[in-house]
Structure 1
């Protein structure tokens, strides 16, 4: 896999007709799936700027090892000098901003890094993108976009009777993670209205699919069962999430880049509301068929209810009608089909997740702060 900074002036214009995308956080879960989809479909030449934190894994992109149109640049988006040199050297036609600290439990345990990466890092990227954009010729300015990938968690929690979040829903973040992403969304919006940077923001629902770091719900359930451990479910298991297959999310982002209106926000949802208990049960039922327990019992017997996360939002749901109506995008995968595809991927890629075990504090629960709100 090629690594290095942007190419020199003599090389960067050799394929002027091809899109050139600077992707931040492209070694993470959604970012790596995005890059793989983009290169499989030959959509763009890609430079991946990633700090390679505990959740970033260059091995996710091993498929592109000999692809001359993909390069990895280890680095921090909060390093403005590096960001400036990267933009000038690579001359992107778009920036896709995935880089973020994203695990809610970790944000409760240590919020400072969430402020630094999600807020200060986004500010650094916006400022250098603004400078770069202003240096472009008029013809190149019309092509450039800054796509900011965010979350539905910025909207807070819904009651069972509330309508799903839409693009006009007021922000009401309840965790340090959600607050940091909300702040970054507001910065992105301000850089459009104040400076004219052609930004596009997406707020997505919970993703699932290949390459997700083991601390998240779906891989936690699958891998705990495969290792013969208890499968933890927070609280009463009745928290509801709208589930979106990561490959569908990636294609929604392609569509937003192609057809989205600068300055606008688009919600990306899967239309699959499930309680956490329903989601875990569906995963374990698939494992009963595909990898039965040696003792003949169901994997469902491993479910254990554990203390809830402080401030745990009760329900998220996305109204994705604007994306369907204005940009003609709908998810391509049925929920059951994509969930089975996800389970199969983890069963077929044991070396991948075993290599991450040392990074994932196995059995260590984070985010339980004494005195925290129940």
Structure 2
């Protein structure tokens, strides 16, 4: 089979690369788009997978005669980024002879998003616009750090840059990374049909990724071989294991961010990774005052969880909340929990008794009815 020939494998095409036995995956839709010279944008974070994906994609596009625009896109997450991440992307762009576009969230980076999320959670709780406090941190199930600060911003930028065109957005997602990613397809489109996500190295191993980078003459991000990290994204990632979090704290460049994140743990009483407190990873980097605040936050967190468990399932927030008035017993439960949580976190909350909670729910239900009537 020649380099331009493809074979079918598990529903997608595999294209053989002349310079190595590694193969990249495509789909019929992706092939049609590249044959039509659609714009190709490759998201690069500075990590090994996006670096290898960019190298492999450019090699494949060169071989198949793609003549459309190509570029690299880096979503800068602000202070959570490693110092070397953007320079790695810049060297990659220079190596490939292409443009690197850097996009950023106008309202600030990920740390600012976490802090503003906590401020919003407090404000909503105080005005009884939600039933329980909402954690400030991203979670594996709610990765707004990826959707808000990367996916949405990159997609919006690409649509502005290539108006009216269908665009291929390449990512370095690999199936071996996690059980969730093991299920991803090679190609998929967004709701508008204008942006196709292509995952050309989905079935590569980690060894193949590093080999591709080494063979190119480039160096991978120093966090892998110098810092001892197994993955590179944010300095402290919600997906990081303890070894990676510990390795990150060993780097002086991460110390200021570490303390800022621990301060948010203390203020919010929410641990960075659910049950794992970031402040426990490197307590020697914290002053005595912050270590005391962290211990207090853990005590508050435990008491908050116990209090909120008194709220029954039917009382919890759902889309369209509130959907009904509470019973007197439910209003009493919610009032007692709100008083306890407000005292624990020193919040200036309203609606702390049965009558005010009933009045608040009645007002919210009336607003919901008005919105539904206007939409009808």
**Fold similarity call, TM over 0.5:** no
Per the normalisation by structure 1, the TM-score is: 0.30
Provide the TM-score with structure 2 as the length reference.
Answer: 0.30
Structure that is richer in strand per residue: 1
